[in-house]
Amino acid sequence: MTDAVEDLISLLDLEVIEQNLFRGHNPEVTWQRVFGGQVIAQALVAAYRTVPDDRICHSLHAYFIRPGDPHIPILYEVDRARDGRSFTTRRVVAIQHGKQIFNLAASFQIQEDGFEHQIDMPDVAMPEALPTDRERREKIADKLPEAIATHFARPRPIEIRPVNPQDFINPQKAEPFQDVWMRATSPVPDDIRLNQAMLAYASDMTLLDTCSRPHGVSWVSGKLQSASLDHALWFHHPVKMDDWLLYAQDAPSAQGARGFNRGSIYTREGKLVASVAQEGLVRYHDD
């Protein structure tokens, strides 16, 4: 494994403090708040630590309440809401400085057979035909402020290859759709719970950007204030994060300084493995 993937797996290996209470650590970063995908993934891991082995998460719903402080650990407190014959429900509260920063509800189910259907994957270019995210970032690194350039250059556990990329420096108005290939940058163990947590982490990447595309703005300008407000994720099939996944995204609406975004995640063979919905804060400060 590369250091970045090892670091992410380590990040998701929470410390047990007491029954139903876990501690999550943060990576060393220069940003002022914790990445939302990290908190979603760690909260899912905390919930899983209290769930019987025969049950797999099929959905989670979360709210971001306060920005996470990247300089101190995060405490995750799990409420064992219900253990039923087929379903298990958990509620998780993330705490820093004595206050809630995030909460999550997740549902887990035993394996069952039933009806199956799905909508088709979009017809897009395969990842091998696209430039890597690193190649795209290196081309513009000398045009960026030092802090952003350093952030761009850091090793990443998830590789991103946009099918229809937007220019970071001079974004143009575009339709509220984007397709992004993504995968872990090195092999990941065959552990469905770990792969789900890593997918939860990755599902918060790029999605909120979709609602800004029609307005021709980019966070690189420093004028765009954005933050996830809530996040919902449904797991349809097991996923392997070191295989390419297509994240097909759209943003049906933006209003009231909020943008609503949706995503469908497919294997390269076209199987729909997860669905995502998120609303985020989107403010533009033109001054």
Which one of the listed residues 38, 166, 228, 264 is annotated catalytic? 228
- Look up residue 44 and give its DSSP letter: H
The verdict on whether 42 is a catalytic residue reads no
The verdict on whether 133 is a catalytic residue reads no
The verdict on whether 228 is a catalytic residue reads yes
**Total length of the chain:** 287
The count of C-alpha atoms lying within 13 angstroms of the C-alpha of 30, restricted to the half-sphere facing its C-beta, is 9
Contact 151, 133 (CB under 8 A): no
**What DSSP letter does each residue of 57-123 carry, written as one string?**
EEEEEEEE-S---TTS-EEEEEEEEEE-SSEEEEEEEEEETTEEEEEEEEEEE---------PPPP-
**What DSSP letter does each residue of 136-202 carry, written as one string?**
HHHHHGGGS-HHHHHHHHS--SEEEEESS---SSS-----SEEEEEEEESS---S-HHHHHHHHHHH
- Nearest-angstrom CA–CA distance, 180 and 245: 8
Burial class (CB in 10 A: 0-12, 13-18, 19+), 226: middle
- Look up residue 50 and give its DSSP letter: T
Which one of the listed residues 179, 204, 242, 250 is annotated catalytic? 204
- Residues belonging to the active site: 204, 228, 278
